[in-house]
Amino acid sequence: MVPPDLNTVPTLLEATVASVSILGGAMAYESGLAAVQALAEDAPSEILGQRVNEGIAKGFVWGWPLSIVAFIIELWA
């Protein structure tokens, strides 16, 4: 087993943090948007919870490709 180059470990960590941050931000944005829309419609709490969960899923769907691109860019730069 080849030991990892210690100069690449911080770069890998920074790339991982950047990609996870983008994914988390996308999921938080979509769930918050869904919550505000449900509250504006005076939806019951069951519907509010369902829309927040759907927003999390929607944010994951469009957030993971962006996070992978950010990971590659961070490693490349």
Interval 56-66 mean pLDDT: 96
Does the pLDDT of residue 8 top 90, yes or no? no
Q: What's the pLDDT tens digit per position in 23-41?
A: 999 999 999 999 999 999 9
For residue 1, what pLDDT band results from cuts at 50, 70 and 90? Answer: low
* Count of C-beta atoms within a 10 Å radius of residue 43: 15
Whole-angstrom distance, CA of residue 64 vs CA of residue 24 = 9
Q: What's the pLDDT tens digit per position in 68-77?
A: 999 999 988 7
Output the CA torsion 50→54→56→57 (10° steps). Answer: 140
Residue 5 in 3-state DSSP? Answer: coil
CA atoms within 13 A on the CB side of 26: 18
